[in-house]
Amino acid sequence: MYIAIYPRKSKFKKDSISIESQIEFCKHEIKGNEKFKVYPDNGFSGKDTNREQFQQMCADIEKGLISKVIVYKLDRISRSIIDFANIMEFFGKHNVEFVSCTEKFDTSTPMGRAMLNICIVFAQLERETIQQRITDAYHSRNKKGFYMGGGMPYGFNLERIEIDGKRSAQYTPIEAEIEGIKLIYSMYSKPNVTLGDILNVLNNSHIPAKKGGKWYLSSVMKVLSSPIYVKADVDVYDFYKDMGAKIINPPEDFNGENACYTFTEKKDASTQPTRFTDVSNQELVIAPHKGIIDSELWLKCRKKQFANRKSYPLSTKKGKKSWLVGKVKCGKCLCAFCVYQDTRLRKNGQPVNSKRMFKCSGYTVQKCCDVTKKLSVDEIEEYIFEQMKNKLAEFKEIHSNKKHLVDPKINEYKIRLLKINDEIDELLGKVVGSSKTLMNYINNRVEELDIEKQHLKEKLLILSSEAEKDDVYKITNYMANWNDTEMSDKLFTIDSLIKVIVISENDIKIEWKI
């Protein structure tokens, strides 16, 4: 029998004691001419026991070849209290002594074994603390816009930079590939253009994908869904906020120049939502590189992705739902109207003449309304379509070849509105339990903020009018072929034109965005 010396060095800790130094320390525990054998594991973590030389040592123990195991320090064996307990039990079963040079434990006594277990608890705590520090550092670098690795996206190379005095990297555009990105966004923004159409154009035109390969639907979707291409302004901020993403930067950082990164928390694969249309588990941070695609075009394509995900056409090209869903409200309770299939008419037990009907969700779901009347979806859609055509006719003199230049103050005013809303929400949260003096202060401050808010809205309405008129001109082209237009483009059109439709007992009121 012989003594086993077990040295281990983790590949994650370059400054830790070397294998050679550990062996020299362990040799001091060997007396006289006792035989020993070294089982070195270089580049293995102590988080588990899946280590080549450690497993070989255990195999030799089972063969009865080893009488004692010597290590430089306790955590060289394991950083897990469960693994360490199992190892100690294994050693005891085969009458193998255990010696730690640094801690000097005698495993032959109860006190020695108790102290050994206490030390391994702290060893495990140290490991978990190191892991938490690594995780915290990773998230901290994310929030500062550091490049955190991963595959290189289409259209970019890496350029080394410094952020806050620390080395990092940022994306720099590849001009030839940038043209491909602009083509993808330009095509997808058009009505009735599908991902398949874009795929055919890219491959038939011999526009190479990343690394010169072919284009696939997933690679096109990845380009369309990534914020690394957008010139992020406050509209992009609003989009991600409404979709439930966690936004790291304040609104004023969204200046319409720089792009964004998103970082996704890991979830169980069985519950992972569709990655292209779910951003609720993402963190959004401003990137150091400049964006490529204007926010208006990027958002138009992104919303089309979401619309295609949520809707599915019937053979008649009318949605199972309706392109009015989300816009139509009850005049009494202001709850949304929901759509259902009326199949009460039956023949031989089977439904016939199934019709789409509107019904107030305040009555059917929330039980807060007594409006039971059902409305024909087809009739409401026909009426609203005619009203949209009439509204668009007011802008027939507008010319699409006039390039609208967005006033930078629009983004500035939108940022201020966001801050006002946040401040009002914060003040209202302090109402409960407030003293009379504090309530007076809250009321006065909310009133001041509301006045400023109304003034800003008036300024935005004036500044945005020309841009909205240009959008209206483009939408008229969609209206010309309405029956053949995809559901996603119908949803985009009505969202551009109408804020809300309120249906009362004898009246339909439309609140226009234009």
- The domain that holds 94 is classified in CATH as 3.40.50.1390
Within a domain: 48: yes
Same domain membership, residue 256 and residue 229:
yes
Angle at 236 between CA 425 and CA 259, to 5 degrees: 130
In a domain, 345, yes or no: yes
Look at residue 473 in the predicted model and tell me its pLDDT.
53
Q: What is the mean pLDDT of residues 349-369?
A: 74
344 and 373, same domain (yes or no): yes
| Residue 391 and residue 482 in one domain | yes
Question: How many helical (H) and strand (E) elements, i.e. helices and strands, does the chain have?
Answer: 14, 19
Split at pLDDT 50, 70, 90, the class of 407 is low
pLDDT of 234: 86
Structural domain includes residue 321:
no
- Residues 309 and 303: their CA atoms lie apart, in Å, by 10
Total domain count, the chain: 3
Residue pLDDT, tens place only, 218-258: 888 889 988 989 998 888 888 888 777 888 888 888 888 88
3-state DSSP call for residue 261?
Answer: strand
Does the pLDDT of residue 116 top 50, yes or no?
yes
Which one has a higher pLDDT value, 410 or 98? 98
Average pLDDT, the chain: 77
pLDDT of residue 109: 65
Kindly report, residue by residue over 148-168, the tens digit of the pLDDT: 566 788 888 887 777 666 676
Q: How far is CA 379 from CA 100, 332, 354, 374, 392, in A?
A: 85, 21, 14, 12, 20
Mean predicted confidence (pLDDT) in 391-398: 66
Mean pLDDT of 294-317: 67
Mean pLDDT of 278-299: 84
Q: What is the pLDDT of residue 318?
A: 39
Q: Is 320 contained in some domain? A: no
CA distance 499 to 510: 8
- 255-269 pLDDT, tens digit per residue, is 888 888 887 755 444
For the chain, give the number of residues.
514
Q: Which of 91, 113, 142 is the last residue of a domain?
A: 142
176, 272: one domain: yes
* Residue position matching structure tokens 């807060």: 368
> Nearest to residue 491, comparing CAs of 323, 338, 242?
323
My answer on whether 130 and 174 are in the same domain is no
Q: Do 347 and 297 belong to one domain?
A: no
Residue 405 has pLDDT above 50, yes or no: no
Enumerate the β-bridge partners of residue 170.
Answer: 159
What is the reported pLDDT for 479? Answer: 75
| Residue among 149, 415, 134 nearest 261 (CA) | 149
The tens digit of pLDDT for each residue in 101-114 reads 887 766 666 766 67
Three-class SS state of 507: coil
Contacts of residue 474, defined as CB under 8 A and 6 or more positions apart, other chains included, come to 400
Put residue 186 in one of left, alpha, beta given phi > 0 → left and psi -120 to 50 → alpha.
alpha
Most confident of 336-345, 431-440, 454-463: 431-440
Give me the pLDDT at residue 14, please: 56
Residue 244 — φ and ψ, nearest 5°?
Answer: 95, 10
- Evaluate whether residue 464 is within a structural domain: yes
Question: What residues have CB less than 8 Å from 381, skipping those under 6 apart?
Answer: 322, 323, 324
Most confident segment among 108-117, 195-204, 456-465: 195-204
The answer to whether residue 318 is domain-embedded is no
Residues 244 and 165 in one domain: yes
Structural domain span for residue 31: 2-142
Q: Give per-residue pLDDT as tens, 49-95.
A: 889 999 999 999 999 999 999 999 878 888 776 677 778 878 889 99
pLDDT band at 482 (very low <50, low <70, confident <90, very high): confident
pLDDT at 144: 57
Which has more confidence, 212 or 150?
Answer: 212
Question: Residue 5 pLDDT > 90, yes or no?
Answer: yes
Kind and range of the H or E run holding 26 = helix 19-27
Domain boundary among 94, 119, 142: 142
Across 89-98, 238-247, 294-303, 480-489, least confident range: 480-489
Q: Which residue has the higher pLDDT, 366 or 178?
A: 178
Q: Are residues 351 and 410 in the same domain?
A: yes
Alpha helices in 94-233 (DSSP H): 110-143, 175-188, 195-204, 217-225
20 with 48, same domain?
yes
Query: Confidence class of residue 339 from pLDDT cuts 50, 70 and 90?
Result: confident
How confident is the model at residue 60, as a pLDDT?
95
Give the per-residue pLDDT at 71: 92
For residues 306 and 341, membership in a common domain is answered with: no
Q: Are residues 124 and 207 in the same domain?
A: no
Is there a single domain that holds both residue 294 and residue 428? no
- The dihedral sign for the CA sequence 25, 29, 34, 39: negative
pLDDT in the model for residue 3:
94
